[in-house]
Amino acid sequence: MAPPSAQTVRLKPADPFDLIRWLARSQSDPRKAVAELVQNSIDADARVVRLERRRWRGGPALVIRDDGVGILPELEREDALRAIASNIGHSRKRGLSPRERQEQVVTGKYGIGLLGFWSIGHRMEIRSRVKGSPIVALRLVEDREKAELVRLPAAIGGDDTYTEIVISELHESAARVLVGRRLTDYLAAELRGPLLASGISVEVHDLVARGTAQRFFQVVPRRFTGEPLDLPAELEIPGHPKARVELYLVRGADNPPAIQVSCAGSLVADDIAELRALGLGGPPWVGCLLGGLIDFPGFNVAPSTRRGVIPDAAAEAFVRALEGLRPAVEAELGRFDRQRGAAAGRQVMHDLKRALRGLRSRLPQYELPRVPDGAEVRAAQMPGGPLEISPDEATTGADDDAAGESEAPPGEPLALFPPGPLTAVRIAGQDLSVSPGGERRVTAIPADQDGRRIVGDVSFVWSVEGNDRLSVVGEGARPALRAAADARPGLAGRLRVFACQGERTADAEAAVIIADERPAEDKSGFGIPDPELVDDANGLWRSRFDGERWQVNASHPDYLASNADGRTRFRYLLALLTKEIVQRTHGTIGSDAILESFVEILTHAERNLRDSGPGGRGTG
């Protein structure tokens, strides 16, 4: 039996304007509608777009003006405006390929952006002039089928080419969200790609702001914060245009970070989790503190709202490409975890203590913070057992014995000529004290006749007189002074050192006191505290002391910039610690801002030295 013959039926709306009404009502966000109008200005090669909130005929209005080439510039003004009003749903952009849309940063292709004004206000007037032509205006009214074309008088000295859109009788809900700062921030995020690609200047002037409220805003493309992942900038998607990838690890933000997704520069998802129907709702894209942007111009986007993507072959290819990128993203997250551990690791603490050793004895005017006794004891371990760290001695590391005999101490001024022969020696600190059963470092400082410290080729002999419960353990310039466990507190002795350089000799002595044991409630000494990394992405502070804790903002841009290189990170932490010591010692109202500026300049210099190649690194 022959199959029944098929008939075709041409689809058409029963009421065309009813379809237009549905399209217009599908755009519910007035900010998105404004962004569409600004996008049209960018598409018209405008260099400056000016948005104004103002009073218009007694009510609130929004004015958008640009200096682009104009609406269909090849046509007469009446014909151009009649064309856009009578061809709803058709756009010249529709015929562009995804690659062409990416190159031109043009995302509209449905020809319905004109209707977005329904979500903003009751009336819209589009004024157009090209190359000194007469000014023609297209007047549209919300939910009204017919529009008007009128000629307007040209202002004296007015621009020869411009497009101006006036939306008046703003809806109350729209007027609340289209205020200066909120509109500026929205446009900066929504149009980030087109703004960066075009270099256009977008200004918001809030002429109805009251009192001293800010009236002028510059729309600056949003810059992502956090630690950038070292990934290829472009992602190959077979059979489709390349995707652009810009991802960051964002710690400490008030709100969880999210990866934005865009199509040729225009956002289609504020959070990649919105595309979970494509299989993109899990790690590492969601829940791993990742933020940033992935732009794929091959998406087919839902009309009018421009949110979400159509799950077609292009979307499936995009998902497959991200799966191929997953191992590289996970490797980068692992690298950041290892860097974070190294930033507060034992080597960093050793380097900080080494850099500031001798500070308390050489520069006693500076107030070091109090730190838990155990931390300093562990940092000063030696084969004979733990050393007691007293307020009269700088903190040191385990390797300082050898370093102290071969290097000048930090802060020692550089001399044009080497020091002369041995003339004198002294023991750092006065009235040394040590608890029963405890130990502490003692230091001999040999000097020439001008008082300059002699480094190397000096030998030392130590002894204790007047108290047989005291002894010296070790050799060289920095041995340990030990008190027996049964030493009686309060008894004194004399510590002596004999220095020899060839045939030249010198000696010195210092009083030693057997100190009372510390009360149980006082378990603190002075020294270098361990840094505690805190994530405060929105905080401007770099470091601070919180009680006995030294906190470092690990989400500050300066910390993130220094974190990729171990030496740069160490110098940054050293600058922060120096800032805190000076603030504790000489801090007054306002001095914290001055010290922060000092660190800011140092960090800027470090970046330049690090980025200047081998010569720059050699100066660090």
Q: pLDDT higher for 337 or 465?
A: 465
Coil vs helix vs strand at 353: helix
| CA-atom Rg of the chain in angstroms | 36
Residue corresponding to tokens 């109008």: 37
Q: How far apart are CA 315 and CA 324, in angstroms?
A: 15
User: Does the pLDDT value for residue 269 go beyond 90?
Assistant: no
pLDDT of residue 346: 62
Q: pLDDT > 70: what percent of the chain? A: 78
Q: Which DSSP state fits 219?
A: -
Q: What is the mean pLDDT of residues 326-333?
A: 90
Percent of the chain with pLDDT over 90: 26
C-beta of residue 109 within 8 angstroms of C-beta of residue 100? no
Cα–Cα dist 511/477, whole Å: 18
251, 349 contact by CB (below 8 A): no
pLDDT of 600 reads 85
Higher pLDDT, 73 or 13: 73
Residue 514 clears pLDDT 70, i.e. is over it: yes
Does position 102 have pLDDT exceeding 80, yes or no? no
**Where does the pLDDT of residue 519 fall: very low under 50, low under 70, confident under 90, or very high at 90 and above?**
very low
Residue 251 tokens read as: 């710690």
Provide the total of helices (H) and of strands (E) in the chain, helices listed first. 16, 28
How large is the angle between the packed helices 566-586 and 346-355, nearest 10 degrees? 50
For range 576-590, the mean pLDDT: 80
Going through 313-386 in order, the beta strands assigned E by DSSP cover 370-372
Provide mean pLDDT across the span 90-99: 51
pLDDT at 483 > cutoff 80: yes
Confidence of residue 130 (pLDDT cuts 50, 70, 90): very high
The b/e string for 88-115 (b: 16+ C-beta within 10 A; e otherwise) is: beebebeebebeebbebbbbbbbbbbbb
Confidence of residue 619 (pLDDT cuts 50, 70, 90): very low
The whole-angstrom distance between residue 500's C-alpha and the CA centroid of its chain comes to: 56
Check whether 112 has a pLDDT greater than 70: no
pLDDT reported for residue 370: 65
Average pLDDT over residues 219-226: 82
Q: What is the pLDDT of residue 97?
A: 52
Work out the pLDDT band at 34, boundaries 50, 70, 90. Answer: very high
Cα distances (angstroms) measured from residue 429 to each of 358, 441, 446: 10, 11, 14
Residues 227-258 as b or e (16 or more Cβ within 10 Å = b):
bebebeeebebeebbbbbbbbbbbbbbeeebb
Confidence at residue 616, expressed as pLDDT on a 0 to 100 scale: 44
Asked if 579 and 541 count as a contact pair (C-beta separation under 8 A), the reply is no
pLDDT at residue 598 in the model:
85
In which band, very low, low, confident or very high, does the pLDDT at 309 lie, cut at 50, 70 and 90?
confident
Among the ranges given (1-10, 312-321, 473-482, 503-512), the one the predictor scored with the smallest mean pLDDT? 1-10
pLDDT band at 289 (very low <50, low <70, confident <90, very high): confident
In this predicted structure, what is the pLDDT of residue 123?
93
Q: Which residue has the higher pLDDT, 569 or 260?
A: 260
In this prediction, residue 134 has a pLDDT band, given cuts at 50, 70 and 90, of very high
Interval 230-234 mean pLDDT:
91
Could you give the dihedral angle defined by the CA atoms of residues 394, 400, 402 and 406, in that order, rounded to the nearest 10 degrees? -60
pLDDT for residue 497: 92
User: How confident is the model at residue 212, as a pLDDT?
Assistant: 85
Of the pLDDT bands very low, low, confident and very high (cuts 50, 70, 90), residue 225 is confident
Average pLDDT rounded to a whole number, residues 349-374: 70
Q: Give tens-digit pLDDT for 548-580.
A: 678 888 888 888 877 766 778 888 888 888 888
The predicted pLDDT at position 512 comes to 87
Which H or E element spans position 247?
A: strand 243-249
* 422-447: pLDDT as tens digits: 999 998 765 678 888 877 778 888 99
pLDDT tens for residues 392-419?
333 333 333 333 343 444 444 445 568 8
Q: Is the pLDDT of residue 122 over 60?
A: yes
Rounded distance, CA 532 to CA 554, Å?
Answer: 9
Give me the pLDDT at residue 89, please: 61
For residue 388, pLDDT over 50 is answered with no
Taking residues 518-537, report their average pLDDT: 63
Q: What is the pLDDT of residue 50?
A: 96
Residue 502 in this model has a pLDDT that exceeds 80 = yes
| CA-based nearest residue to 479, from 587, 548, 402 | 402
Top-confidence range, 225-229, 379-383, 397-401, 504-508: 504-508
In which region does residue 540 sit, left (phi positive, over 0), alpha (psi from -120 to 50) or beta (all else)?
A: alpha
Q: Is the pTM of this model over 0.75?
A: no
378 pLDDT above the threshold of 50: no
Greater confidence, 605 or 390?
A: 605
Terminal-to-terminal C-alpha distance of the chain: 91
Which of the residue ranges 32-41, 219-228, 375-384 would you say has the lowest mean pLDDT? 375-384
Q: Which two tokens stand for residue 535?
A: 């994530």
For residues 598-606, give the mean pLDDT.
83
Predicted local distance difference test score (pLDDT) of residue 101: 47
Q: Return d(Cα 110, Cα 96) in angstroms, integer.
A: 12
